[in-house]
């Protein structure tokens, strides 16, 4: 730069020259990055499709994505290099010729470099080690730029592992709270006594409960409707479900209008609160309940909120008695093979009795499905951490080669 300026080059000319060089580097990188990125995205999409149990139609390149890739690939390097290029392009001829790539003059008093100089006579490191440490802290800006991506990559990696452990711990807590090993959703409401008689004596079943479910719509004070919720009418002496209460209490046998709601409902609808009335529209009728408890429920973000009332209270308000559409079971153990065999035996009994089945689920299947969803999230975050670590490693290699 000093020689070019000495023969008449202007700062603008030097700036454009180096920006063109950076632009060319970005263009060369895009020639490799675009096809490799498309291949990697297609491979990762196949992985996600397998987790979600569907097949991809084929590989399609989005024009908008390609434009975005080229914009980022060409503009980001130019913007990143603009400040240092402008800095050196504005240097005088004398300063550019005298520039040695290290800080001129004595170390700044009190700085890291000065600290290493003072500590040389106290630390018993070999002299090559002290020289390398001195050189490392000589260009503090370069050191900071090298450490930032390495630190971010390590922090994200540790955060992802922590998030993964937290998700699976929460999942296990949710499965323990739900309690059931097998759940069967019937296609209609049937008499509870008849259904329980049909499934009585199925091998591997140690407990069975008949629940009732209804779709419910919470109604606000102004008459508008909140998001749909799922109402569970549970036996008052349930031994299968173990609520994770965060406020209030659980249902008692003598509760005639008490309701326990998920904490997510209160967060989404601040006007609903513990001890306050809650109006639900069920089958076209508006029923008023009183919130007596709040439970922590693990569920997908878009899933409807869960509500719990006594079976007898719901039967009385809707005008029918002793009906069920949901069956929950405990098995002798929690092995996947046991869950599968018990579910098949229960389905066979119910089908032979003319009772229709809408769906069957087991806790092992729930664990597998949620695990697959968690894998998608953690995989994306781990890829981000890996890419940051690669960028940091490349920066470290450059710094070490310069040092």
Residue at 42 is within a domain: yes
Q: Which two tokens stand for residue 227?
A: 């998001």
Q: How far are the Cα atoms of 237, 262, 312 from residue 317, in angstroms, in the given order?
A: 20, 22, 9
The 3-state DSSP class for residue 244 equals coil
- Residues 81, 189 within the same domain: no
- Residues 186, 95 within the same domain: no
Residue at 29 is within a domain: yes
Q: What is the DSSP string of 10-62?
A: -HHHHHHHHHHHHHHHHHHHHHHHHHHHHHHHHHHHHHHHHHHT---------
- Residues 225, 338 within the same domain: yes
Rounded to whole angstroms, how far apart are CA atoms 269 and 264?
A: 8
Q: What's the pTM?
A: 0.65
Residue at 160 is within a domain: no
Q: How far are the Cα atoms of 215, 233, 318 from residue 284, in angstroms, in the given order?
A: 11, 18, 11
Is the pLDDT confidence value at 326 over 80?
Answer: yes
Please identify, among 72, 99, 126, the residue that sits at the C-terminal boundary of a domain: 99
- Residues 281, 184 within the same domain: yes
pLDDT, position 307 = 92
Helical (H) or strand (E) element with 277: strand 277-282
Residue 255: exposed, middle, or buried by beta-carbon count in 10 A (0-12, 13-18, 19+)?
Answer: buried
Biggest CA–CA distance in the chain, Å, is 101
Q: Which of 79-93, 129-143, 317-331 has the lowest mean pLDDT?
A: 129-143
Please identify, among 51, 73, 99, the residue that sits at the C-terminal boundary of a domain: 99
**Per-residue confidence band for 108, with pLDDT thresholds at 50, 70 and 90:** very low
pLDDT, position 123 = 65
Domain residues for the domain of 48 are 1-99
- Residues 49, 198 within the same domain: no
pLDDT, position 227 = 87
Is the pLDDT confidence value at 104 over 60?
Answer: no
Residue at 172 is within a domain: no
Closest CA to 329 of 164, 190, 200, 148: 200
Rounded to whole angstroms, how far apart are CA atoms 143 and 398?
A: 11
- Residues 72, 185 within the same domain: no
- Residues 332, 225 within the same domain: yes
Please identify, among 43, 77, 99, the residue that sits at the C-terminal boundary of a domain: 99
Residue at 287 is within a domain: yes
- Residues 194, 89 within the same domain: no
**Per-residue confidence band for 51, with pLDDT thresholds at 50, 70 and 90:** low
Give the chain's mean pLDDT.
82
Chain centre distance of CA 91: 49
Residue at 331 is within a domain: yes
Contacts 24+ apart (CB under 8 A), 298-303: 298/170, 298/171, 298/173, 298/174, 298/177, 299/262, 299/264
Of residues 262 and 303, the one with the higher pLDDT is 262
* Per-residue model confidence as pLDDT tens digits over 170-199: 888 777 777 888 999 888 888 888 888 888
Rounded to whole angstroms, how far apart are CA atoms 198 and 351?
A: 10
Residue at 133 is within a domain: no
DSSP letter at 138 equals T
- Residues 190, 306 within the same domain: yes
Rounded to whole angstroms, how far apart are CA atoms 367 and 375?
A: 12
> CB–CB of 68/62 below 8 Å?
no
Q: How far are the Cα atoms of 88, 133, 134, 401 from residue 137, in angstroms, in the given order?
A: 21, 6, 6, 15
Rounded to whole angstroms, how far apart are CA atoms 349 and 130?
A: 80
Percent of the chain's residues with pLDDT above 70: 87
Please give the angle made by the CA atoms of 86, 96 and 147, to the nearest 5 degrees. 60
> CB–CB of 136/361 below 8 Å?
no
Q: Taken in order 56, 59, 61, 65, is the CA torsion positive or negative?
A: positive
Tell me the mean pLDDT in the region 30-45. 84
* Per-residue model confidence as pLDDT tens digits over 345-400: 998 988 888 888 888 988 888 888 888 888 888 888 888 888 888 888 887 787 77
pLDDT, position 109 = 40
Residue at 57 is within a domain: yes
**Per-residue confidence band for 106, with pLDDT thresholds at 50, 70 and 90:** very low
- Residues 217, 350 within the same domain: yes
**Per-residue confidence band for 105, with pLDDT thresholds at 50, 70 and 90:** very low
Tell me the mean pLDDT in the region 39-67. 77
Domain count, the chain: 2
- Residues 195, 307 within the same domain: yes
């Amino acid at each position: 730069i000093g020689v070019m300026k000495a023969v008449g080059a202007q700062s603008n000319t030097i700036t454009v020259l180096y920006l063109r060089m950076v632009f060319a580097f970005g263009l060369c990188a895009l020639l490799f990055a675009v096809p490799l990125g498309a291949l990697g995205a297609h491979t990762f999409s196949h992985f996600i499709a397998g987790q979600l149990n569907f097949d991809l139609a084929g590989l399609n390149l989005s024009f908008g994505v390609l434009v975005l890739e080229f914009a980022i690939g060409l503009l980001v390097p130019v913007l990143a290099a603009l400040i240092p290029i402008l800095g050196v392009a504005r240097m005088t001829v004398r300063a550019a010729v005298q520039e040695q790539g290290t800080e001129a003059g004595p170390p700044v008093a009190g700085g890291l470099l000065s600290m290493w100089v003072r500590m040389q006579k106290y630390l018993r490191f070999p002299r090559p080690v002290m020289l390398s440490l001195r050189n490392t802290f000589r260009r503090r800006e370069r050191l900071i730029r090298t450490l930032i991506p390495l630190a971010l990559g390590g922090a994200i990696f540790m955060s992802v592992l922590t998030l993964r452990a937290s998700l699976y711990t929460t999942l296990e807590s949710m499965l323990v709270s739900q309690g059931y090993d097998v759940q069967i959703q019937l296609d209609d409401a049937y008499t509870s006594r008849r259904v329980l008689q049909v499934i009585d004596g199925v091998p591997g079943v140690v407990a069975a409960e008949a629940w009732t479910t209804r779709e419910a719509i919470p109604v606000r004070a102004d008459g508008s409707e909140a998001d749909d919720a799922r109402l569970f009418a549970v036996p008052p002496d349930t031994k299968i479900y173990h609520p994770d209460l965060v406020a209030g209490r659980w249902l008692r046998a003598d509760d005639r209008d008490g309701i326990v709601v998920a904490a997510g409902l209160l967060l989404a609808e601040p006007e609903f609160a513990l001890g306050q009335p809650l109006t639900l529209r069920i089958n076209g009728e508006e029923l008023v309940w009183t919130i007596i408890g709040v439970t922590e429920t693990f569920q997908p973000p878009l899933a409807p909120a869960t509500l719990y009332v006594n079976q007898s209270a719901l039967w009385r308000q809707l005008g029918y008695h002793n009906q069920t559409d949901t069956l929950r079971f405990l098995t002798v153990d929690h092995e996947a093979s046991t869950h599968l065999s018990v579910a098949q035996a229960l389905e066979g009994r119910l089908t032979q009795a003319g009772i229709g089945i809408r769906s069957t689920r087991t806790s092992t299947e729930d664990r597998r499905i949620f695990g697959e969803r968690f894998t998608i999230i953690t995989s994306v975050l781990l890829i981000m951490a890996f890419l940051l670590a690669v960028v940091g490693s490349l920066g470290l290699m450059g710094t070490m080669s310069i040092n």
